[in-house]
Amino acid sequence: MIKASDFGSDFLWGVATAAPQIEGAATLYGKGLSIWDTFSNRSGKIKNNHKLAIACDFYHRYQQDIALVKLLGFKVFRFSISWARILPNGIGFVNQEGIRFYHNLIDECLRQGIVPFVTLYHWDLPQALEDEGGWTSFSINTAFNNFVSLCATEYGDKVKNWIILNEPFGFTSLGYMLGIHAPGKTGLSNFFPAVLHTALAQAEGGKILRSEVSNANIGTTYSCSEILPYTQSDNDILAAKRVDSLINRLFVEPALGLGFPTGNWDVLEKFQMEYGTWRLNERMRFDFDFIGLQNYFPLTIKYNAFVPVIQAWEVKAKNRKKPHTAMGWEINANSFYNIIKQFAAYPAIKNLMITENGAAYHDKVINGSVVDAERIEYFKLYLEALLKAKKEGVNISGYMAWTLMDNFEWAEGFNARFGLVHTDFKTLQRTIKYSGYWWQEFLKN
Ligand code: NOJ
């Protein structure tokens, strides 16, 4: 039986969350609108038209929720700062009530003996900045740097662990290319400038923290998936390579000083030519203390000439009769191990942390209990794969489960439950699931 102590006594165990998914109080206490507030108010964008105005009401319940983190035995609590809560217009006027909220939250973590890990950007761009073009506009970098600097000055004495961006490929692709996340923009003419400014933001944010926070441990996170060709045909293998360049390589390589990848793919070559990105290679480089990996599933890719630009298509787990979660995501711990190895192979990566991993199921409270045996099984398999990589010498310093409690899962609304704690979205009552109790036991040993 796998035990927490197998990972070593200094291994950091945590749970991860994000402001827009849990906080609520979306229009209260001087907070400005974020792109997710606006997007969720557009009809048909979120399943069942769920809104994030209240979410888990963490804003008013953070003390009890941190007590839950502690009760479950985690050492680390990862949360994000809502940019629009402290800078309602994105830049300029500072909302002192918002500033105070994060002081209180950080102080509460420290009081309860929990280490705060702060994500600076977890997708909730102030709407006022989106009105100026958001991530597609060059001016976003000035605004972002200013936001980072404000957070460093305010919280840098108390917070030493920082994550600059959460899943840059996630928010640029879903929000600026496919339009299924906020702000709902589409096409390469939005995607590529967003990619460029985001890659600049991750490095510049890191440099600002380095100069303004003493003894900071600075990282950034990437969504990643092992990419498997459906068959060994040349077409499928090349299609898988294109997807790998986009999903796994697009943001980490510029951070490591390698510039953007091309993956022998004319679309990425053209992007680099058009924007002269090589001139910015030094600006996009930053020596991160750790790289955060967020992995849930692998992708099996088949060539498809009818799919614009990428000419690739995912063959879903269900159609391949593979085990999957309620999101339809394939459960495959070996692919978790493989993607860890893929990232560990970059010589410039010093240290990895798993900053998210978890599974959604259709959980129900029955007689006061949530028996989520499948989630426990998922964690066991993935933790074993992680331990294997660690034992083979990969430098991994921590693991954070996604997520503390069921929350607002973006376009899925409240329908996808990833929590170790069940949230009743009518009463806001929290019920620890069996997986939460499983973690409690696991972390004791
Ligand atoms: C990615 C994101 O960082 C997080 O916000 C999301 O809820 C989980 N993974 C699950 O989709």
Interhelix angle 140-155/96-111, rounded to 10 degrees, is 50
| Ligand 1 pocket by Cβ (under 6 Å) | 18, 21, 166-167, 294, 356, 402, 409, 418
Catalytic residue among 23, 226, 356, 409: 356
pLDDT tier at 388, thresholds 50, 70, 90: very high
Q: What's at 286, amino acid-wise?
A: F
Q: Ligand 1, closest atom to CA 418? A: 10
pLDDT tier at 424, thresholds 50, 70, 90: very high
* CA angle 425–106–123, rounded 5-degree value: 55
- Output the CA 295–ligand 1 centroid distance in Å: 10
| Ligand 1: residue whose CA is nearest its atom 5 | 18
- Mean of pLDDT values over 27-42: 98
| Ligand 1: residue whose CA is nearest its atom 6 | 409
- Mean of pLDDT values over 283-305: 98
Interhelix angle 188-212/168-176, rounded to 10 degrees, is 150
Catalytic residue among 167, 204, 330, 409: 167
pLDDT tier at 264, thresholds 50, 70, 90: confident
Indicate if 253 belongs to the active site.
Answer: no
- The 10s digit of each residue's pLDDT in 48-99 is 999 999 999 999 999 999 999 999 999 999 999 999 999 999 999 999 999 9
List Cα–Cα distances, 330 to 279, 321, 323, 334, in angstroms: 39, 10, 6, 11
Percentage above 70 pLDDT, the chain: 100
pTM above 0.85, yes or no: yes
How far is the C-alpha of 189 from the C-alpha of 194, rounded, in Å? 9
- Output the CA 394–ligand 1 centroid distance in Å: 24
Q: Ligand 1, closest atom to CA 407? A: 7
Q: Ligand 1, closest atom to CA 409? A: 7
Indicate if 167 belongs to the active site.
Answer: yes
- Mean of pLDDT values over 303-330: 98
Which among 291, 286, 153, 156 is positioned nearest to 214, based on CA atoms? Answer: 156
- The 10s digit of each residue's pLDDT in 107-127 is 999 999 999 999 999 999 999
Q: Ligand 1, closest atom to CA 327? A: 11
pLDDT at position 209 over 90: yes
Mutate to test the pocket of ligand 1, among 174, 409, 414, 415 (most ligand atoms within 8 A of CB): 409
pLDDT tier at 287, thresholds 50, 70, 90: very high
- Output the CA 274–ligand 1 centroid distance in Å: 32
- Mean of pLDDT values over 310-316: 98
Contact 267, 329 (CB under 8 A): no
Q: Ligand 1, closest atom to CA 123? A: 5
Burial of 201 (0-12, 13-18, 19+ CB in 10 A): buried
What is the predicted pLDDT for the residue at 385? 98
- The 10s digit of each residue's pLDDT in 123-167 is 999 999 999 999 999 999 999 999 999 999 999 999 999 999 999
pLDDT at position 223 over 90: yes
How high does pLDDT run on average in the chain?
98
- Output the CA 346–ligand 1 centroid distance in Å: 25
What is the predicted pLDDT for the residue at 338? 99
- Mean of pLDDT values over 289-301: 98
- The 10s digit of each residue's pLDDT in 168-184 is 999 999 999 999 999 99
- Mean of pLDDT values over 391-400: 98
- Output the CA 435–ligand 1 centroid distance in Å: 18
What is the predicted pLDDT for the residue at 361? 98
- The 10s digit of each residue's pLDDT in 268-284 is 999 999 999 999 999 99
Mutate to test the pocket of ligand 1, among 15, 325, 410, 423 (most ligand atoms within 8 A of CB): 410
